[in-house]
Every structure is written in structure tokens, then in C-alpha cells.
Amino acid sequence: MSLLEIQNLGIDIRVNGLTNRLLHEVSLQINSGESVALVGESGSGKSLTARAVLGLLPAHATTHGSINLDGTEILGASKAALRQVRRTTAAMVFQDPRSSINPVRTLGAHLIEPMLQVPGSNRAELEARAVGLLGSMGLSNPEARMKQYPHELSGGMLQRVMIAGALMNDPQLLICDESTTALDVTTQAAVMELLSTAVRERDMGMLFITHDLALAASIADRTYVLRRGEVQEAGDTRQIFTAPTADYTKKLIASTPSMRSGPAAGVHTLPSTEGAELVLKVENAFKTYHPSGQPAVKAVQDVSISIPAGGGLAIVGESGSGKSTLGRIVAGLEEQDEGTMTVAGGQIETGSAKERRLARASRVQMVFQDPYQSLDSRITPAKALERVLKLHYKLDAKAMKARISELLASVGLEEKHANLLPRKLSGGQRQRVAIAKAMALNPRLLVLDEATSALDVSVQAKVLELVNKLRRENGVAVLFISHDLGIVGEICDELVVVQHGRIVESGPTGQVLNHPAHEYTKSLLASVPRPRWAKDEPVREPADNNSY
Amino acid sequence: MAQSNLATALPPARARADKESTLLANLKMIAMKLFGFVFTVFISSVIVFFSRWLVPGDPINFLLRGRSPNPEAIAEVTAIYGLDKPPLEQYWHWITGVLQGDFGRSLQYRQDVTDVILDRLPVTLGLVVMAGLMIAVLGLAAGIAAALFRGSWIDRGIIAGMSALAAIPSFVGAIVLIAIFSIQLGMFPSFGSGEGFGDMIYHLVLPSLALALSFIAVVGRVTRSAMMEEFSREHVEVARSRGITEVAVVFRHVLRNSLGPIMTVSGLLVAGLLVSSAIVEQAFGLAGLGSLLVSSVDRLDFPVVQAIVLIVVTAFVAINTLVDLLGPVVDPRLKAGKGAR
């Protein structure tokens, strides 16, 4: 008997009288000591499956099939039985540690709360165990941490606290739902290390849910690929990733730059920009923030970058490296303290504040990370484009309509999308609308701030393709800000790596990725998840591993 | 490969320095809030005092009502009440007196204002405190119940009931309560404030309820919406996923986190409570500050009006300063010197 045995699990949900099938006949097994990955894109039902294991079902859901966890049937279990399972048998680590821990209670209270409710528990004993676990999670000063509040710790440290909390009751099954997605790449590597150590030492079973195929390959013995609530493919992880049989798996792998290998996946090449005029020239820029009551934050220190017309420059760094501040300075949303910046030839100095703002907007446009938040939920794409165009051009109704259609077509949207509210559009479609808005003024430079991070891999691939098409056809230069080393090669010829507001390394993308010179770049590259079976191979040699 | 440096804490010396600076920042924050309190009350005292010159009617005429306007008598009374001095000097005289508990003399009672007010204060204080307790207990209970059974008929019933309550002016509520509980059922007296402490409480039950009704609705709705928002937070689901009982989830993770907005709104409600108390006192024939204020305005008894308005404003500002000071206790992210990251 497996530790977890899910058989023909189906979940339906009734909304406004309509029944939606969220899971179709999902079967999944996990044995003690086995790590199993469940991969899929958003809406595939992977989180739903994970929550169902703990009996956390959405309201108005009906289920059929069976979930047997260590001898307990979860579906239809009593509240008391579910509490028992959640306290002793299985524990879950969620995606965003910052929103997973109650912000107004201490970490100590978070850690011991469930076990404290078990009759006969002893607070002092539990506290001692919590301190021990915090220590084993690599947190220094664990006693002091117990009295701290979540906002006093970084995201990586909080996720360690979450894992400690999950291990408090020695569960037999650890469920990780995108547990490292919100973390920086080096932090992710450290947390993954912790997770695999914990699973190995305690001989736990692990259900690892992720959208990141490379991450799944780095930890799981077996993998299930889920799409729209159905298992597409299941089996040995290496087998699935090296010789996928389902079309969907093949497509997913093809969309994940870091899973590809071989010469075909070399650095993206575009027409040479040698000798072209510069559209962006930033020299010795500095920016320091002075939050009240806190030490000054040197977000940008002595940074110089330049991009030729039609060029692509990637800025890579972890959170807090100042990469977004730099992007905001280039887009004119922030002013640098020191240094000079020239955008598309000539500084913008003359005219009223409004004229300067418009002049800058017509040269540089920015696309933000989350299209769910960057679009006004009450405004249709056509209306949004019309507003941007009206601000800058005098177009008659017919010309306006034609221009809007042209813009929507250029980002791969159809007429029927023009008058839909954002909530009717998918994430990828929304980001296309955001890009269309940015392209409406024919800017010379497009700043993409993590513009694909919130998207599914297959959607991300299409959006990157779109950006490349715009570069080719409109000659727009791109400043691509990202934490993901895996995708910068897709789009940028030049790369700068920033840490603590300073550029630590720069050069052609292929050269930096294949021959990193700076320690920080090396550690970033080493932190990119790699399949287990590749672990013993040497790190990224240009000859045999050209996946960037 | 594990980035252990990411998890290292501050060295002890820096941690200690941090602790000291946090303490200092806390003291600084408290000092700032108290300064704000004193400053607001000072500005209010200026407005309260000088607004007398904006009101039509001369207090002298009231004092001499029914008597022949003999110039000498006018001059004498003017001198007694200090009305011949320049306004700034009058203010100085008044405010220094107030700081020593002397609000001047009432024109209509020919007594010290302080004595007049102290006579009436217990009734109003009892009324407001009892209403406050009812608002806190019933408002929170209604909000918690609605949030717990969100979407069900209990929730809908509570919302409908609260909307109706919020729409009832307190004088109408007073009449309805009197009609039901004193005339029909004869459970509570409908008039006066009784003798002695216990009797006063008994006499104040209906007035407090009449005063509290619409505020119960406001607090109930704020509680419900704050809790609904908190229910949708991920940490609540995490708490459930860890086998924490639903009662603990509701009280420790949902209600506890909703206290901030509930407290802020409650603090602001105090102003309305003090104002409405005047109406309720009138309806129930209570000799409190509210009815005193109404009759004093009527008779241009400006020393009494000024004193009551200043007391009410001070009470309002004091309660909101207290709410502000409690903010960081309720939500540690608000602590001075630490941004919520």
C-alpha cells in the first residue's frame, strides 16, 4: 500500500448553476521516501489536487473517486479526522511565504500553534523543538527568531520558517505547492537543498507541485504532467523529460529554454546592430532611497549601460539588486540622483512638464510584470489604446480605428478581443494588450520589467517570440529586466548582471552565460535548477551544453 | 551551494543597537502623537473660544434681560464677566482658568460652569459608556456571526437588519423603544436618570440602547467586511491546512487581524456618539451634558457651550490618539522605524 493513493479523483464545482469539471479521473501514488512532481500550467488543477489531499476543497465542490492517505480516506472524512491528518500525517508548504504566515503573530506562535492544540502537548517542549528545527533550517539565532514577526525576515528566511513549521509534527508526506516560485534563484537553490535533505533524512514522501519543469527534474523520482485536470503523462522523471510521449509534454519542454539542449537552442541571433546609433545611453547613474527610520538604500550605484537601435540588453539580478529601479529610471518613472541619461538622441529639456512627459513617453515605453494588475479592469483593449493614441496624435475616427486594429494585430490579438474587458482575457492576452499599448507610440525603446515572469511557460515563449518580432520589424530596442537566466538568451544580445545596485559583469549574452567571470554570476548560474541526471556532469560547457 | 549567508542574523552588537534604536523610535512616535493631541486640542480651544464673536446676539443683553438698559449697569456687568478686555486677553484668561479646572461662570445658572457640568457629567458618561459597551459587544457579535455564516440566510438576515438599524435616527429608535419596553412591557422606565448608581444604570438601559442602535449597525458591517477580507487571505487557508480548529482560525487569525480597521472606525464613531447623546437625553428627559448644551446654546450661555464643546472635542481627540497608539500593538508591522516589507 502506498503512502498516498489517489484513485480516479474527480472534482466538479458548481458556479451559477453551471457545473465545471476541474479534475478528471486523476490517479496518483506516492510511496514513503519517494519524491513525486506534479507539473502543469496555471489552471491545470495541480494546486487543487494538492489541497484535496489535505481535504481543503473549494466551496460548492463535489468529488468522486478516492484519496487514501496512510490508511485514512480523505474524501468524506469528518472534521476531526481531517484535523488529525493535517496535524500528524501530512503538511504543506505554500507558494508565497510572505502571505502564508499570519503577519501579526510571532514566528514562534506560528510554529507551535497546531501541535499546541493536541491534548497533552507541552508548550516548552514544542518551543524547544521549534528552535531546533529553525536551527536545522540554517537560520541563525533561532531563539530570537521565535519572537520576531514575519515582516522582519526576508522571503527566503520565511520559507525556511514555513518548512520548519511543516516538519514540526514529523509528517509522513510533505506537499510543496510552488514553494520556491516566489524566491530568488540562489535562495531557491538553497531551499530546494533543504527540502531534499529533509525528505531524505526523514524518509518522507513528497508531492512537489511546480510549473517549472527544470525544478521538477532536479528533485523528483517520478513526474505527473497535468493539463486541464487530466494526467497527460506519468512515469520516471528522466524518462518523461528525455523521451516524452504526450504531445503536451513535448510542447512544454520545447517552451522551457533551460530544458532544451543541443545546437538548435543557441543564443538568439538578430541582425547585427554594429555601428547603429545608440537609443539609450546611461552614464554613471546613482539612485539612493531614504526610507524614513531606516538606513539609506543604495539602489543604483555607478551604473553605465547603452543600447543601440534595435538592440537587446538584459539586466539580470535578484530581488533588491536595483534592476527594477534602473528600468524605472530609463522609463522616466524615477529620476537618477547623479549621472546622465540620453534616450533616443538628445536630452529632453525643453517645453512644459507635460510636453516633456509626452516626448519621453513617445521614446520609451514600459511593460510591467503582472498584466492582471497593470491593466485597468474597467477598460477594454480598444479603449485603452484609443486613450494612449489620443494623448499623442490627432487622428480622425477612421484612422484611429485602423491604427487600433493594426496594433492589436501586430501583437497577435484578434478583432473580437478589442472590446472585451480584461477579466475575459487570459494572462497571455492581457500581456499582449500591455505590449500593444506600449507599442502604440512607436517608441524607440521598450523596457520589459519581468514582463514574462507571471506567465505560463508556453505563453511566455509566445510573448518572447512577439517581442523578437517587434524588434525585427519595428527596430525597437529592448531593455529586458529579468531574474531568469534561462530566458535572457532568447531575446538579448547583451547582458549585464547586477548585484547590490552595481554591475558586476557585462558582455555578450552567450559569453557571459558560458564563461562567467564574476563569482556572483557563477553562483547565479549554479543555482539554476538542473535535472538530477545532469548533476554529475560538469557545469555548462559551451561545447556540449548550449542551452542558453 | 547553500547560500548560508542569506540566513545569517545580525551580529549581536548590531542587534542590540537595533533594539535600542527601536525603543527610541517608539518613544519618539509616542511623543509625536501626544504632541499632535495637545496641538489639536489647542487649535480647537482657539476656534471654540473665538467662534462666540461669530454668533449673533450679545451675552450682555441676555444677562440684563427684562431690565432697563442702564449704561452703568451694562458697564458693571461687562466688567464682572471680563467682557471689556481685548479678545486675546479674554482668551488667555479663559484658557489659563480651564487648565486649572475653572471654565468661568454660567450666565443662566449664575454658578461656576465646572459645578454645572459636574452635576450633569455622570449621566452622560454612563450613557456613553453603556452605549459603547453595547456597540462593542453587539456590533462585534453581529459582524462575527455574519462573517462566519457568510452567504447564508443568517448573513443576509443580519445585513438586512443592520441596514434597517443604520437608517433609524436615534430619536425614532428612542420612541419605539419607549413604546415597546416601557409602555407595553413596563420593563424599563422611560424618563429621568434615577437615584444612586444602580438605579441610574437601570434608568439608562433604554437610552443607551436607543443611542447604540445605529452604531451597532456600523460596527457590525465594518467587522463583517474586515473579516471577510481576512478570510480570503492565504494565511487563513494555511492555518486550516495545519489542522488548527476553526474556532482558533476565526478568532486568532481572522478577527485578530481585522482589529485594525474595526478600531479605526470605532474611534471615529465616538464623535457621532457624543452628538447623538444630546438627542437621546432630550427624548428620555435625562439631565445630561447634551440637554445642557442644547439649552445653553438657546440662551447664549457661552461659557457653558464653550466648556462642553471643548470637553467633547478633547474626548474625541483623546480616544483617537489612543487608537493610534494601539495601532502598533494590534499590527506589529506599523511599528516605528520598520517598514512593512
Q: How does pLDDT run across A284-297, given as a tens digit for each residue?
A: 989 988 876 677 88
Nearest to B177 by CA among A1, B185, A461: B185
User: Which pLDDT value is given to residue B69?
Assistant: 65
User: Which pLDDT value is given to residue A348?
Assistant: 62
Report residue B339's pLDDT band, with 50, 70 and 90 as the boundaries.
very low
Report residue A460's pLDDT band, with 50, 70 and 90 as the boundaries.
confident
Report residue B5's pLDDT band, with 50, 70 and 90 as the boundaries.
very low
**Interchain contact, A51 vs B241, CB within 8 Å:** yes
A441 lies in some domain: yes
Residues of chain B numbered 227-266 and touching chain A (CB < 8 Å): 233-235, 237-246, 248, 252-253, 256-257
Which member of A87, A100, A293 has the closest CB to residue B234?
A100
Q: Is the pLDDT of residue B92 over 70?
A: yes
Question: Do A343 and A221 reside in the same domain of the chain?
Answer: no
User: Which pLDDT value is given to residue B43?
Assistant: 93
Pick the last residue of a domain from A256, A290, A315. A256
Q: Is the pLDDT of residue A544 over 70?
A: no
* d(CA B44, nearest CA chain A) in Å: 30
Instruction: Report the pLDDT averaged over residues B75-81.
Output: 74
Question: Do A159 and A214 reside in the same domain of the chain?
Answer: yes
Q: Is the pLDDT of residue A265 over 50?
A: no
pLDDT above 90 as % of chain B: 26
Cell of A209: 507541485
Secondary structure (3-state) at A77: coil
A420 lies in some domain: no
Residue A322 Cα distances to A148, A336, A431, B9, angstroms = 27, 12, 23, 23
Instruction: Report the pLDDT averaged over residues A130-153.
Output: 89
Could you tell me if B210 and B127 are in contact, meaning their C-beta atoms sit under 8 angstroms apart? Answer: no
User: Which pLDDT value is given to residue B283?
Assistant: 84
Cell of B270: 465616538
* d(CA B195, nearest CA chain A) in Å: 47
Question: Do A244 and A286 reside in the same domain of the chain?
Answer: no
Residue B113 Cα distances to A365, B48, B80, B85, B338, angstroms = 68, 16, 15, 20, 47
Residue type, B105: R
Q: Is the pLDDT of residue A259 over 80?
A: no
A106 lies in some domain: yes
Low-confidence winner among A294-308, B59-73, B172-186, B220-234 (lowest mean pLDDT): B59-73
The Cα A449–Cα A483 span in angstroms is 10
B277 lies in some domain: yes
Domain tally for chain B?
A: 1
Tell me the chain A residues in contact with residue B256 when contact means C-beta distances shorter than 8 Å. 102, 104-105
What range defines the domain where residue A211 resides? 31-55+78-256
User: Which pLDDT value is given to residue B18?
Assistant: 62
A410 lies in some domain: no
Exposed / middle / buried, residue A125 (Cβ in 10 Å: 0-12, 13-18, 19+):
exposed
Q: Is the pLDDT of residue B226 over 90?
A: yes
**Interchain contact, A139 vs B235, CB within 8 Å:** no
User: Which pLDDT value is given to residue B39?
Assistant: 94
User: Which pLDDT value is given to residue B67?
Assistant: 61
Over residues A206-239, the pLDDT tens digits come to 999 998 888 899 889 999 999 988 899 999 998 8
Q: Looking at B178-331, which runs of residues are DSSP E strands?
A: none
| B326 in contact with A, Cβ within 8 Å | no
A21 lies in some domain: no
Question: Do A154 and A84 reside in the same domain of the chain?
Answer: yes
Domain tally for chain A?
A: 2
Over residues B136-177, the pLDDT tens digits come to 999 999 999 998 888 889 999 999 999 888 888 888 888 888
Q: Is the pLDDT of residue A187 over 60?
A: yes
* d(CA A328, nearest CA chain B) in Å: 20
Q: Between these two residues, B57 and A483, which has the higher pLDDT value? A: A483
User: Which pLDDT value is given to residue A266?
Assistant: 42
User: Which pLDDT value is given to residue B317?
Assistant: 92
Question: Do A232 and A337 reside in the same domain of the chain?
Answer: no
* d(CA B220, nearest CA chain A) in Å: 22
A385 lies in some domain: no
User: Which pLDDT value is given to residue A204?
Assistant: 92
Question: Do A206 and A300 reside in the same domain of the chain?
Answer: no
The CATH number of whichever domain residue A159 belongs to comes to 3.40.50.300
Could you tell me if A321 and A355 are in contact, meaning their C-beta atoms sit under 8 angstroms apart? Answer: no
The CATH number of whichever domain residue B233 belongs to comes to 1.10.3720.10
**Interchain contact, A96 vs B235, CB within 8 Å:** no
Tell me the chain B residues in contact with residue A527 when contact means C-beta distances shorter than 8 Å. 1
* d(CA B331, nearest CA chain A) in Å: 5
Instruction: Report the pLDDT averaged over residues A467-489.
Output: 86
B47 lies in some domain: no
User: Which pLDDT value is given to residue B338?
Assistant: 46
B31 lies in some domain: no
Report residue B16's pLDDT band, with 50, 70 and 90 as the boundaries.
low
A348 lies in some domain: yes
| B5 in contact with A, Cβ within 8 Å | no
Question: Do A457 and A357 reside in the same domain of the chain?
Answer: yes
B125 lies in some domain: yes
Q: Is the dihedral of CA A480, A484, A490, A494 positive or negative?
A: positive
Question: Do A442 and A342 reside in the same domain of the chain?
Answer: yes
Question: Do A128 and A243 reside in the same domain of the chain?
Answer: yes
**Interchain contact, B235 vs A99, CB within 8 Å:** yes
Instruction: Report the pLDDT averaged over residues A60-78.
Output: 89
| B8 in contact with A, Cβ within 8 Å | yes
Which residues make Cβ contacts (< 8 Å) with residue B338, sequence separation at least 6?
A: A151, A152, A293, A294, B22
A25 lies in some domain: no
Over residues A25-64, the pLDDT tens digits come to 999 999 998 999 999 888 788 889 999 999 998 878 889 9
Residues of chain B numbered 182-211 and touching chain A (CB < 8 Å): none
What range defines the domain where residue B227 resides? 121-331
**Interchain contact, B242 vs A291, CB within 8 Å:** no
Question: Do A105 and A238 reside in the same domain of the chain?
Answer: yes
**Interchain contact, A186 vs B3, CB within 8 Å:** yes
The Cα A20–Cα A22 span in angstroms is 6
